[in-house]
Amino acid sequence: MARIGQRFVSQSTTWRMVKHYGEQLQAVVEHQRGQVNVERIQLPDARHDHKQRKGVSMDGGMVNIRGEGWREMKVGTVFDVELRLERNPQTHELDKIAHGVNVHYTAVLGTKADFTPALWALAVEHDLPTAHKRSVVADGALWIWDVAEDVCPDAQQVVDWYHATEHLYKAALALYPNESDLPKRHRWFKTYQHHLYMGHVETIISVLHKRHLPHLATYWLWHR
């Protein structure tokens, strides 16, 4: 405000105004969400579902709130899934690669119970419940799959590539922990990254059990 608008507004005034109008905005948003809760919505027969592929993603992050300390903010998105013919980076062949487009967001500073109706309202607004094909992409946290079961229970659940490969690298590091093992670690990771990309999760589970790392296999058992 001071730099761009040449107007000085104290922090206390800003905080008071945000609190005042924030409470009003919160009341409006909660009223809107109440109009589209599960009990009020009557979905048409599945035979009339539209053909636009839809996707959902969500995650949580910590935010430092003045006077309250660190709290988790949950963020969700609903988007269209667009398939484009592109060179697959793993197979190097032309393939249909999915892209999220027309992305819409919602965010809640609160619990899973607070977040679920907010995501459901966003889903209804953008025709997610009536999509013929739906998917949920997330990091694998259990609270996320719980929300996904409420918002779109018959959607395909997908652990995102970044977090899946992160867990795979933890396995490679456990198998080859020494710096002298770095070439072997890299080769193992690249080999099983390809298995992961091709959906051969059972292969990863099997090798981790054979190498006496069942605790690392648990992640893949849960998300296969």
Residue with tokens 């999760």: 201
3-state SS, residue 89: coil
**To the nearest whole percent, how much of the chain has pLDDT over 90?**
47
| Model pLDDT, residue 224 | 63
Give the 3-state secondary structure percentages of the chain, helix then strand then coil, rounded to 5. Answer: 50, 25, 25
| Model pLDDT, residue 76 | 96
Q: Is the pLDDT of residue 38 over 80?
A: no
| Model pLDDT, residue 40 | 67
103/42: higher pLDDT: 103
Query: pLDDT by residue (tens digit) across 64-92?
Result: 987 889 999 999 999 999 999 988 877 78
β-pairing, 134-138 vs 156-159, is parallel
Query: pLDDT by residue (tens digit) across 139-188?
Result: 888 899 999 998 988 899 888 888 899 999 999 999 999 988 899 999 99
184/199: higher pLDDT: 184
| Model pLDDT, residue 36 | 75
| Model pLDDT, residue 32 | 79
| Model pLDDT, residue 222 | 67
Is the separation of the CB atoms in 81 and 100 below 8 Å?
yes
pTM over 0.85: no
| Model pLDDT, residue 216 | 85
| Model pLDDT, residue 39 | 64
Contacts 24+ apart (CB under 8 A), 39-48: 41/124, 41/129, 43/129, 43/130, 44/130, 48/130
| Model pLDDT, residue 5 | 85
Q: Does an H or E element contain 136, and which?
A: strand 134-138
Q: Is the pLDDT of residue 35 over 80?
A: no
52 by Cβ neighbours in 10 Å (0-12 / 13-18 / 19+) ranks as middle
Averaged pLDDT score across all residues of the chain: 88
| Model pLDDT, residue 6 | 85
β-pairing, 156-159 vs 94-109, is unpaired
